[in-house]
Structure 1
C-alpha cells in the first residue's frame, strides 16, 4: 500500500512539474507572440517604402532627358535599386544609372540594362 501511495505522489509531482513547464513555455510564446505580431507590420512598412522609392526612381527616369523608360524595370529593396530591361542607345545605360543614384534614399544601383539589338 505504501508503494501505491508513493507512486501516486510521484505521479502527482510529475504532472505538476509538466504543467508548470508547459505554462512557462506558453507564457514565453505569448510574450514572443507580441513581437511576432509587429513583424508583419514592419514587413508591410518595408515593402511600402521600397515601392515608394521604386516609384521615385521611375519618375526621375521618366523626367530625365535622353532616357527611354518604356522597357526599363525598376526594383527596390532596402534602398538598393536594380535597373533591368533594354534601351535603344548605349549612352542611356550610364545616364539611367546616374539618374537613379541621384534620387534621395537610394543607397546603391545595380545596372542590368542592355542595348537593344536591331
Structure 2
C-alpha cells in the first residue's frame, strides 16, 4: 500500500514538473532560441544564475511556510522565474489555503499555483 501511495505521489510530481516545463515561451525567448543554435558561456552562466535564484526563492517559500505553521514534509515548492507552484499533500484541509496565502506574501513571488491535495490516510 505504501509503495502505491509513493508511486502516485511521484507520478503526480513528475506530471507537475512536466507541465511547468511546458509553459509557453515569450516571443522574445522564442526568437532568441530560434535565431541561435549555439550556446555561449555567458548564456550558461545566466541559466546557472537563474537556477540558483529559483532554488533560493523555493527555499525562502518553504521557510515561510514552516514559520507560518504549515507542515512542509509533503510539500514541494517549484519555482520558474517568480511563479511558484505548490505541489504535494497536507494533512489538514485548512493548510491548503494557508500555504497559498503565505506563499503569495513572500517577497519575489508574483504568482502562486496551488496544487496541494489532502493526504488521506489508509490509501
| Fold in common (TM above 0.5) | yes
What does residue 71 of structure 1 align with?
Answer: 74
Q: May I ask how many residue pairs the two structures share in their alignment?
A: 86
What does residue 101 of structure 1 align with?
Answer: 104
1:1-118 to 2 correspondences below 5 Å: 36-65=40-69, 67-118=70-121
- Relative contact order higher in (CA < 8 Å, ≥ 6 apart): 2
Structure 2 unaligned segments of length 5 or more: list them: 1-35
RMSD between aligned residues: 1.9
Q: What is the CA distance between 1:37 and its match in structure 2?
A: 2.1
Looking at secondary structure, tell me which structure has more helix per residue. 1
Q: TM-score, normalised by structure 2?
A: 0.65
Bigger-Rg structure (1/2): 1
Structure 1 unaligned segments of length 5 or more: list them: 1-31
Q: How big is each residue's C-alpha offset from its partner over 1:49-100, in whole Å with a ceiling of 9 and x where there is no partner? A: 00000000000001112x2111111111101111111111111000000000
Rounded to whole Å, the distance in 2 between the matches of 1:80 and 1:62 is 19
Rounded to whole Å, the distance in 1 between the matches of 2:118 and 2:71 is 11
Q: What is the CA distance between 1:104 and its match in structure 2?
A: 0.3
Q: TM-score, normalised by structure 1?
A: 0.68
